[in-house]
């Protein structure tokens, strides 16, 4: 699909994510990969003839979606000991396919919060160079974690001397990890502040890293111009990380009312993956998940949705983050219906995947909006998602940076 010259999209219904409203019959003028103008029908009549015209007059058009928590590198749902058989180059090749299906599902930007061997940096570069299709990627490089923690690899016995690349203990050692990530191209820092579901031998309730180490990570990352995302399920780790100044809490499963209040006060985003539990509990066992992980998921899944509801009702900043990779890529849109079931309006859920993430990613005005100056990242669905949020599970049209990657519309 060529994107030279001027392209105009006729949007029958258009969602204005900033105003939280819809408009009808808008004409989106695209040039050089960006949105030049959004015109009414009358203003459009006076425009010169565009080079390309895309008729989405019977569709609902919205900005490209984003996911604040994905893992594109590696085979999805590759749990437990199965994961040990995958080399980093092989995982990167799978990442190429994962990037394509993610983009085709309407997710035009993702944060990749942890990957082996900096493969996420190369994936981003290959996409930006135009070699392969994929979303805009904000990569974290290696997740930083304590020895034996959720971001380490604890599957093998001592004699294998297996230590994940992001493991460091102590304030200066973690600063070095932040600097190393930056050196090799990371744009965001991810660290593990509690145990996790899918890691062996970690407890979801136990804090990982001291307050001092967390503050060192945040200070170093912010000094270098990067935001910080913390993996945290248990309440103590969540509270300590928010106090340390993280920009988003991932999972946030057992977040207390006190921590919700502090997050609101400090502007900390909550990236709560409320869909993935259903996938883990239905598919995990057959896919080789560790029995202890299944047990942990049974404790955390329902609780997380209840805490999500509390956070949503309090008006906390909810980032749209799904942990894609734990479930197959391209199904990122499934979480919308869960967020609506557990307390957000459809508009708020859409804002979470657009303007809230844009702010968290430091890309305000560039992504998550259809207005002059933003990247031409535009999607369309045949059913208005404000009437049926599940429409976002099946996106019919995807444009990124002015190039069309999917067009399953009749027009
Ligand atoms: N990667 C996460 C972990 O291992 C997945 C947690 C998924 N469960 C959930 N209820 N969100 O901890």
Chain segment 233-243, per-residue pLDDT in tens = 999 999 999 99
Residues lower than pLDDT 70 in the chain: 1-2, 410-411
d(CA 81, CA 30): 48
What's the confidence (pLDDT) of residue 410? 67
CA 158 to chain centre: 34
Q: Helix, strand or coil for residue 407?
A: strand
Indicate if ligand 1 lies below 6 Å from the C-beta of 297.
yes
Residue 149 DSSP symbol: S
287 phi and psi angles, rounded to 5 deg: -90, 10
Distance 327 CA to ligand 1 centre (A): 11
Mutate to test the pocket of ligand 1, among 323, 324, 325 (most ligand atoms within 8 A of CB): 323
User: The tokens of 37 are what?
Assistant: 């103008």
What's the confidence (pLDDT) of residue 2? 56
CATH topology of domain 65-360: TIM Barrel (3.20.20)
21's enclosing H/E stretch is: strand 21-31
Indicate if ligand 1 lies below 6 Å from the C-beta of 293.
no
Contacts of range 182-187, beta carbons closer than 8 Å, 24 or more positions apart: 182/224, 182/226, 184/118, 184/121, 184/141, 185/118, 185/121, 185/124, 185/125, 185/139, 185/141, 186/118, 186/121, 186/139, 186/140, 186/141, 186/226, 187/138, 187/139, 187/140, 187/226
Is 142 within 8 Å of 170 (Cβ atoms)?
no
- Closest Cα to atom 11 of ligand 1: 273
6-64+369-407 and 65-360 share one CATH topology?
no
Atom of ligand 1 nearest to the CA of 301: 10
CA 198 to chain centre: 19
Neighbours of 42 (CB within 10 A): 8
Indicate if ligand 1 lies below 6 Å from the C-beta of 276.
yes
Is 162 within 8 Å of 156 (Cβ atoms)?
yes
Indicate if ligand 1 lies below 6 Å from the C-beta of 304.
yes
The residue whose two tokens read 């425009």 is: 47
Q: What is the CATH number of domain 6-64+369-407?
A: 2.30.40.10
The dihedral of CA 188, 329, 119, 135: what is its sign? negative
Distance 147 CA to ligand 1 centre (A): 19
Indicate if ligand 1 lies below 6 Å from the C-beta of 246.
no
Indicate if ligand 1 lies below 6 Å from the C-beta of 274.
no
The residue ranges of every structural domain in the chain are 6-64+369-407, 65-360
Distance 340 CA to ligand 1 centre (A): 20
Predicted TM-score (pTM) of the model is 0.98
CA 314 to chain centre: 22
Distance 303 CA to ligand 1 centre (A): 12
Contacts of 371 (CB under 8 A, 6+ apart): 18, 35, 38, 365
Distance 358 CA to ligand 1 centre (A): 23
Indicate if ligand 1 lies below 6 Å from the C-beta of 239.
no
220 phi and psi angles, rounded to 5 deg: -65, -45
What is the rounded (10 degree) CA torsion for 99, 250, 203, 215?
Answer: 120
Atom of ligand 1 nearest to the CA of 198: 4
Indicate if ligand 1 lies below 6 Å from the C-beta of 326.
yes
Residue 188 backbone zone (phi > 0: left; psi -120 to 50: alpha; other: beta)? beta
Q: Is 387 exposed, middle or buried (0-12, 13-18, 19+ CB in 10 A)?
A: exposed
Atom of ligand 1 nearest to the CA of 273: 11
Q: Please choose, from the candidates 244, 181, 233, 242, the residue with its C-alpha nearest in 3D space to the C-alpha of residue 211.
A: 244
d(CA 98, CA 105): 11
Above 0.95 for ipTM, yes or no? yes
Contacts of 84 (CB under 8 A, 6+ apart): 155, 156
Indicate if ligand 1 lies below 6 Å from the C-beta of 250.
no
What's the confidence (pLDDT) of residue 4? 85
Distance 384 CA to ligand 1 centre (A): 31
């Amino acid at each position: 699909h060529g994107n030279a010259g001027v392209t105009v999209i006729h949007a029958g219904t258009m969602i204005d994510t900033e105003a939280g409203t819809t408009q009808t019959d808008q004409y989106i003028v695209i040039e050089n990969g960006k949105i030049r103008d959004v015109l009414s029908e009358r203003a459009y009549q006076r425009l010169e003839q565009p080079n390309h015209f895309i008729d989405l007059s019977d569709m609902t058009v919205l900005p490209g979606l984003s996911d604040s928590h994905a893992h594109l590198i590696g085979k999805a749902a590759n749990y437990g000991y199965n994961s040990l058989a995958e080399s980093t180059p092989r995982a990167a090749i799978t990442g190429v396919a994962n990037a394509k299906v993610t983009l085709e599902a309407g997710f035009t930007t993702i944060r990749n919060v942890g990957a082996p061997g900096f493969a996420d940096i190369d994936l981003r570069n290959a996409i930006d160079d135009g070699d392969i299709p994929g979303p805009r990627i904000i990569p974290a490089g290696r997740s930083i974690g304590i020895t034996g923690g959720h971001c380490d690899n604890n599957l093998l016995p001592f004699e294998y001397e297996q230590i994940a690349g992001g493991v460091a203990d102590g304030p200066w050692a973690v600063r070095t990890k932040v600097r190393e990530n930056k050196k090799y191209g990371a744009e965001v820092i991810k660290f593990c502040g509690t145990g996790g579901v899918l890691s062996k031998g970690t407890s979801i309730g136990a804090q990982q890293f001291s307050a001092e180490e967390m503050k060192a990570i945040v200070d170093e990352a912010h000094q270098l111009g990067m935001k910080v995302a913390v993996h945290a399920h248990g309440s103590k780790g969540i509270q300590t990380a928010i106090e340390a100044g993280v920009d988003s809490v991932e999972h946030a499963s057992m977040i207390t009312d006190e921590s919700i209040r502090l997050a609101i006060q400090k502007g900390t985003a909550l990236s709560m993956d409320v869909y993935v539990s259903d996938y883990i509990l239905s598919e995990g066992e057959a896919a080789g998940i560790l029995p202890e992980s299944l047990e942990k998921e049974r404790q955390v899944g329902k609780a997380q949705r209840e805490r999500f509801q509390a956070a949503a009702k309090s008006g906390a900043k909810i980032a749209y983050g799904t942990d894609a990779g734990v479930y197959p890529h391209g199904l990122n849109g499934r979480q919308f219906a869960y967020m609506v079931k557990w307390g957000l309006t459809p508009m708020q859920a859409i804002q979470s995947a657009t303007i809230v993430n844009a702010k968290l990613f430091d890309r305000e005005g560039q992504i998550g909006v259809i207005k002059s100056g933003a990247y031409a990242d535009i999607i369309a669905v045949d059913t208005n998602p404000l009437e049926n949020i599940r429409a976002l599970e099946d996106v019919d049209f995807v444009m990124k940076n002015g190039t069309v990657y999917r067009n399953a519309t009749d027009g």
